[in-house]
Structure formats: structure tokens, C-alpha cells
Chain A
Amino acid sequence: MNLDTLREKIGYQPLLLGVVALLASAALAVVSDATSPAIAAAEAKDLRDSLSEVLPAGMADNDFLKDTVDLEQGGKTITVYRARQAGEIKAALFKVAERGYSGEIQVLMAVDMDGRTLGVRVLKHTETPGLGDKIEAKKDDWVLDFNGKSLTDPTEDKWAVKKDNGVFDQFAGATITPRAVVKAVKGGLSFFAARKNDITG
């Protein structure tokens, strides 16, 4: 029986689909197995790079990627990375998120033991290009304004954009985006203040 007549048989088609699905799954499994260590390593490196961006150089002598504590906050788990010097915790690094103009804005921040921000970076956002994306450090210096700020400096009511009588600049044509980032950073500082004992403990 040649292929042309075989191909028209009713049993040929499900068999063919089954074989194709099996081969595709096998190929995916092999590639996934081969690439997963490299992908995990690359993602760990990305995380380390972004963590070291918010943490001033020389602040940590430990591998803070491995020195973590998971805390519950409003139903979500926040992983806190702890930067130590000679065994003593010097800073806590964690991610906070807030709803921006279009979707969630993810912010990575480092806080020292006095509750002051050491650095803030926006990790991920879907804000309007050209307007809201000035929250990215590579597009604008705006996000550096948070360095050294704490819950008492500026005072509670000044933790807002200038339009809301706060101290932080907004952008021309985009107020909601910086407002969300300010709220996220303030929330992160409150989280740190409330859970400091859990973080250091």
C-alpha cells in the first residue's frame, strides 16, 4: 500500500495528529530541560543586577540573593532580600507594586535600617511611552529624587506629587504615573517600618 492510499484512511489522521503532538511535546521537553539551568542562571543574574542598582556599592558583603525572608502583606507574599556587612543587616531590598495609568507598576527599592530609601528603580510598567515612562531611570533622573527620603522626611502630607501639594515632581501630561510611584514607595517604607522586626529577626 503506498502513501497516497494510506493517507486517505480514516485512522491515518488521528494517528498523524497524535504522532505530531507527541514529537512536539518531546522536542519541547528536551529543549526545556537543556535550557532551564541557563535561563535560571540568567534570571538570577538579572535580579542581582537590578538589586545592586538600588543598593549603593559596598553596602553588602553577603550574597543577598540567598539571604531572604518571605513576609505576608495584604494577602501577597513579599520577598525581602537582606544586605549584610560583617553579619549585620544594613539594608532591606524588596519589590512593591501599585496600579499606574495602564496596569501595574513594579518598583524595586532598598531601605536602610533608619527607614531611609537607598535607591528606587521601576522594574516593569506599561505606562504611555514618551509621557509616563520618565519613571525609568534610563529615561529620566526623576526616580533618583527618592534617594534618602523617609516617612518623616518629607512629612506624611508631603509624600505626594507637587500637584497634590507634595514634594515630588509630576511630568507634563502625566500625573497619575508619578503619583502611583510615590504611593508605591511610601507604601514600601510603611511596610518596612511595620515589619522591621520580622525583617531583622
Chain B
Amino acid sequence: MSENYGKLMKEGLWEQNVVFAQMLALCPTMAVTTSGTNGLGMGLASTAVLVIANILVSMIRHTVSSQVRIPVFVVLIATLVTIVDMVINAWMHELYKVLGLFIALIVVNCAILGRAEAFAVKNGVVASAVDGVAMGLGFTGALVVIGLIREFLGAGTLFAQASQLLGPSFAFLEVKISGYGGALLMILPPGAFAVLGFLLAGKRILDRKLAERDAAAANTAPAAA
């Protein structure tokens, strides 16, 4: 299992997607996805913490006894988030002004403890790192999709202020639909629930269609042979 990195990536990005399949980390998901840029920033910061946490947990997995593993992981993750917060504040201050609010929120992201518990504690360092990257990117993708939909419907823009987060060379990402003021509801919390609900329903339908197609292919294959 630990050698099958392709499968890990596929699980992280789609089949076991943190938001769309595991339904974890919904608090930061709802809170920060008022725009695509916010979602991207939160997703990337969470990915960094997730990868480092997975690696560290995997490294100490033989030392930690199972009775006290949860407090140990909580201390580890909280320390990590605080360090990331301080380092970004000190040496990437412009980024901190955009992300600062979200970084402390990562500590309550249950997906990180969830991956430590469900994966890193049972697997090797490399596999855990890959799992962290896959789950992190899946989370980032979900946040960006929800953020873009809410931003588009709510404010009529796409990736507004992306150049503040990624640097001036990414200003081309910013799109403004002229003449559309947006439906404020989508920016407010109800919009987050609505968008997430429709996306979850959409994923269920798509997954069922795919499963039916696979089943049909499996049925016809022996008959043709």
C-alpha cells in the first residue's frame, strides 16, 4: 500500500476528498471561501501544515504509545501552526496581511489531526508526505471551487486580489464581470451552505453515474469474451 502513490493522490484529490467525501474541516471551508483567492491561500497554508504534520507524526509513530497519541498530536500540530504563523508574519509579511487571519484557524482544522490519526500513524514517512500533499491539494481544490462559485455569484468577480497573494504577475487571474453587482447572499454564510450542498449533490450524482458505467462495463466484458 505504501508504494502506491498514484492511488494516494487519487484518493486525496477525489475519492477521499477532505471536504467533498470525508466532510471534514467544514468550519474553515465555510468561513474563508468568500473568494477564490481566500480559498487558495487557506488551502495552500493548510497543505503546508498538513504535509509537515504528517511527516513528523510518521517519524515518531513508533515512539508514541497509543494511549497518549491524541494529546501528543494536538501539541505537535498546535506548535507547528504557531511556528508557521510566526515565520510568515516575520519574513513574508505581505502574505501575512492577506492570510494572517486564516493561519491560526488551521489549528482547528480537524483534517490535519484526522490524517495523522488515519494515515501517518500507520505508514512510512514518504507515504505520509504524499498523503499530506494529496489531501492538502484536494482540500485546496475544494476551497478554490467553492470560493470561486461564491465570489462569481456574490460579487461578480473571479480571483479578486489574487495579485496580493501570489504577486503582481498573477494579476491576469483577476476577472471582473462588469454590470453585475452580485447577490450578496452568496458571500454571506448561507451562500457557503448552499454552494457546498449543491456541489456535494453533484459529486454524488457523478460518482453514481461512474459506478453504473463501470458496473455495466464489467457485465458486458465477459459476455463479449
A residues within 8 A CB of B91? 35, 38
Which residues of chain B from 84 to 115 have a CB within 8 Å of any chain A CB?
86-87, 89-91, 93, 96-97
Out of B63, B68, B82, B182, which one reaches A3, CB within 8 Å? B63
In the complex, are the beta carbons of B72 and A17 less than 8 A apart? yes
In the complex, are the beta carbons of A130 and B155 less than 8 A apart? yes
CB < 8 Å A-B pair total: 66
Verify if B194 is at the interface (C-beta below 8 Å from A).
Answer: no
A residues within 8 A CB of B86? 31-32, 35, 39
Q: Given the complex of chains A and B, what is the CA–CA distance between A128 and B188 in angstroms?
A: 8
Q: Given the complex of chains A and B, what is the CA–CA distance between A31 and B97 in angstroms?
A: 20
Give chain A's interface residue range (CB within 8 Å of chain B): 20 to 34
In the complex, are the beta carbons of A42 and B90 less than 8 A apart? yes
Out of A3, A13, A31, which one reaches B67, CB within 8 Å? A13
In the complex, are the beta carbons of B83 and A28 less than 8 A apart? yes
Determine chain B's interface SS by DSSP, over half rule. Answer: helix
Verify if B154 is at the interface (C-beta below 8 Å from A).
Answer: yes
Verify if B187 is at the interface (C-beta below 8 Å from A).
Answer: yes
Q: A24-B76, A38-B91, A131-B184 are in contact. Are A17 and B71 (CB under 8 A)?
A: yes
A residues within 8 A CB of B89? 35, 39, 42
In the complex, are the beta carbons of A35 and B90 less than 8 A apart? yes
In the complex, are the beta carbons of A130 and B64 less than 8 A apart? no
Verify if A47 is at the interface (C-beta below 8 Å from B).
Answer: no
- Closest Cβ of chain B to A32, distance in Å, is 6
Out of A12, A16, A20, A35, which one reaches B87, CB within 8 Å? A35
Q: Given the complex of chains A and B, what is the CA–CA distance between A130 and B62 in angstroms?
A: 51
Out of B75, B82, B97, which one reaches A20, CB within 8 Å? B75
A residues within 8 A CB of B90? 34-36, 38-39, 42
In the complex, are the beta carbons of A16 and B83 less than 8 A apart? no
- Contact code string B35-77 (vs A, CB < 8 Å = 1, else 0): 0000000000000000000000000001111011001100110
In the complex, are the beta carbons of A12 and B65 less than 8 A apart? yes
Q: A31-B83, A32-B86, A131-B184 are in contact. Are A16 and B155 (CB under 8 A)?
A: no
B residues within 8 A CB of A129? 34, 184, 187-188
In the complex, are the beta carbons of A13 and B79 less than 8 A apart? no
Verify if A21 is at the interface (C-beta below 8 Å from B).
Answer: yes
B residues within 8 A CB of A20? 72, 75-76
Q: Given the complex of chains A and B, what is the CA–CA distance between A31 and B71 in angstroms?
A: 22
Q: Given the complex of chains A and B, what is the CA–CA distance between A13 and B76 in angstroms?
A: 16
Q: A38-B90, A129-B34 are in contact. Are A16 and B72 (CB under 8 A)?
A: yes
- Closest Cβ of chain B to A34, distance in Å, is 8
Out of B34, B63, B64, B87, which one reaches A31, CB within 8 Å? B87
Verify if A198 is at the interface (C-beta below 8 Å from B).
Answer: no
Q: Given the complex of chains A and B, what is the CA–CA distance between A36 and B86 in angstroms?
A: 8
Q: A35-B86, A35-B87 are in contact. Are A27 and B79 (CB under 8 A)?
A: yes
Could you name 9 residue pairs across A and B whose Cβ atoms are closer than 8 Å?
A16-B65, A17-B72, A21-B75, A31-B87, A36-B90, A39-B86, A42-B90, A46-B97, A130-B184
Known A16-B68, A36-B90, A45-B93; 5 more pairs at CB < 8 Å: A13-B67, A16-B72, A20-B72, A31-B86, A32-B86
Q: Which residues of B contact A (CB under 8 A)?
A: 34, 62-65, 67-68, 71-72, 75-76, 78-79, 82-83, 86-87, 89-91, 93, 96-97, 154-155, 182, 184, 187-188
